Structure 1
């Protein structure tokens, strides 16, 4: 989640919603017999009044399987008010789900919301309908899809499943746009955390893989496009999630990139970062994870030679940080994602593995990243 302001691209968050139904599709990485959702008004300046909400199994772009449609309640009420800066968790409802099922959540927002708390880069389509259609399984009323095609999620912080099945502790993928999935297929679920979840399922060891990536995010500093610094949000986005066992840390390239580069999503001058500062930041994340008995897996920073923000000084910092990640012995395990995207060690992502900006992987690149992870380390 991030506050409204100076986005990469125009979204619905700037103006918010009035008498509209908002339909969002997410894919589960763990099934169960019950489901509930978490909503966030973390960056709202006023109360958020939710007039109705539902959830059900997706059957198409904005359609819901009618017999799976469930009304969501909050402390027994079909509506709720979330204070500015607050959150809400729905009551659990009975709904049988399996790993990799897609669920559709619908929120009806009757009163003007003002600027919305949202996740800018969803790489998934969100739909909007005028009026109250939160209990309508058909897609007919949902005549608007979020533009442009990158997509965004609004207010939805998480979907939780529960039930009698034994589910191993979750893995959290923590990072920036490379974890978030910029360059993945829209509605294709081929970000690296998605593909990692599929590998675990295929290997017979399914477990949830939570994506805690934020496009343009930095480890050390807050930035307008990237939200709260990784150090500041680590507890909220990783350690406070339910039943976490492992975190994969891949963050720091936006701290290194040239401050005024359009690819890192900043405006104006930012002080140059040093390798020592980034290493200290990684140490802080490791110590925080260890204090909560969460295993920390360090991922080497991926190449960016050829990107708009690349400099020789920045490359030297990346190399120094990667050497520390690989040899420090503090991380519980290491995954060499730099080598996964640059098998020849050129400092540049292989041409077949990026989207053309020399920074963000394409679906094949995300597959290479997911495949580079030794499942036993998780």
Structure 2
């Protein structure tokens, strides 16, 4: 029956459902989380220890819809094979609960259990679960044995749930008594694309793209707000990592942008446009030493621009457009200095005037306090003078000219 259903769906949509292809014109990214090494730098997570006879339930919100989905899992930073006993996808209900009639067991090459090699990723077979734009989905993973440290995304601004034993098909939330604000192993959700090309937009950057300061479970990050403006006309996925930098790797804040760009941005199915907002940590970290982020060299505007040019070259080589975003005001932030302010001003001037980006979005102008342009507008400040509030993220999304996407 499953084979017959796949044939019928393929015929109806005119696409090929290739379950192991990393990118295929019949699929479009609808949600993503950039993986990195497990870390507790943002607070305690389950990632550093991993799982052992645990069920992990994770809730995401799609940006676009489609008649079927598949799920992407990452073991990019695992040193041993990841043995997944089973997984399900379903439409979300309240908290850890799901709608029982929508539960679908995921398969991988026709099998419910699978193994993801160290450093690798795996894409599920098609799951016949129609989804709508801006709909919450729940992905549940069960690990019967010990996983070791878990590749994931520590700063999720969303609640994940854990239960002892196998509860992958539970509709109820009763067994899920533990909570975390991180994602584990789950790196993408993709939908069948009815059109030859949906023009997926990837928001690429650091914690401001990741959504630091936004309401937990509110889906108020600026890429979420942008997805709401587009409402399925284009998908928007988030490739932000808190603390990430353009020019330097980190054990806690991910690989540098120039290294991870190919995987996290250009590797998204149906990507057409990237919004690049990154560089403030390169400028600020030299004045805010963090052991796990060493080295913390002082950077010049020319250094940051050289990184941008590398990213633009990578994107254009793949036929992908890059929208350059100006760096937000950060006066009063823990790592603000007058010297850093001068570098930010020079970088922003280059973004606006160089003509090297395909388009520009002026996030600085959209979020600055008119009375003190080097500072965030108080209503747009989450409280640390660096990360926007929900209202600030909404203002950022409103500043994007949709025609440039």
Band of TM-score, shorter chain: over 0.9
Give me the CA root mean square deviation.
1.5
CA distance 1:266–1:289, change in 2 (3 Å): same
Alpha-carbon distance in structure 2 between the residues aligned to 1:366 and 1:272 = 29
Equivalent runs, 1:210-289 vs 2, <5 Å: 210-259=237-286, 261=288, 267=293, 270-289=296-315
User: What does residue 190 of structure 1 align with?
Assistant: 220
1:327 is aligned to 2:327: no
SS where residue 374 of structure 2 aligns?
Answer: coil
Return the alpha-carbon distance in structure 2 between the equivalents of residues 37 and 370 of structure 1: 27
Q: Distance in 2 between matches of 1:366 and 1:163?
A: 28
Aligned-residue offset at 1:339: 0.8
Any idea what the Cα deviations from partners look like across 1:32-75, whole Å, max 9, x if unmatched? 11111000000001111000000000011011111110000000
**With structure 1 as the length reference, what TM-score do the two structures score?**
0.95
In structure 2, C-alpha distance between the alignment counterparts of 1:302 and 1:289, rounded to whole Å: 23
In structure 1, runs of 5+ residues without a counterpart are: none
Given the alignment, which residue of 159, 165, 170 partners 2:200?
A: 170
Q: Counterparts of 2:134 and 2:197 in 1: how far apart (Å)?
A: 14
Which among 154, 178, 191 is matched to residue 161 of structure 1?
A: 191
The 8 Å contact of residues 47 and 152 in structure 2, kept in 1 or not, is answered as yes
Q: Secondary structure at the match of 1:276?
A: helix
**Cα 1:141–1:167 shift into 2, 3 Å:** farther
Alpha-carbon contact 1:37-1:159 (below 8 Å) kept: yes
| Offset, 1:159 | 0.5
Determine the C-alpha separation between the residues in 1 that align with 2:159 and 2:404.
33
Alignment partner of 2:78: what SS? coil
**1:315 and 2:305 equivalent?**
no
Q: Give 1:30's match in structure 2, choosing from 64, 67, 71.
A: 64
3-state SS in 2 of match to 1:338 = helix
SS in structure 2 of the partner of residue 54 of structure 1? strand
Cα 1:231–1:269 change in 2 (3 A) is closer
Between the aligned partners of 1:193 and 1:164, the Cα distance in structure 2 is 23
The count of aligned residue pairs is 370
Find the counterpart in structure 1 of residue 151 from structure 2.
117
Unaligned runs of 5+ in 2: 1-34
Which of 190, 210, 235 is equivalent to 1:180?
A: 210
Does the Cα contact within 8 Å between 1:258 and 1:310 map onto a contact in 2? Answer: no
* Structure 2 length-normalised TM: 0.89
Offset at 1:307? 0.5
3-state SS, counterpart of residue 211 of structure 1? strand
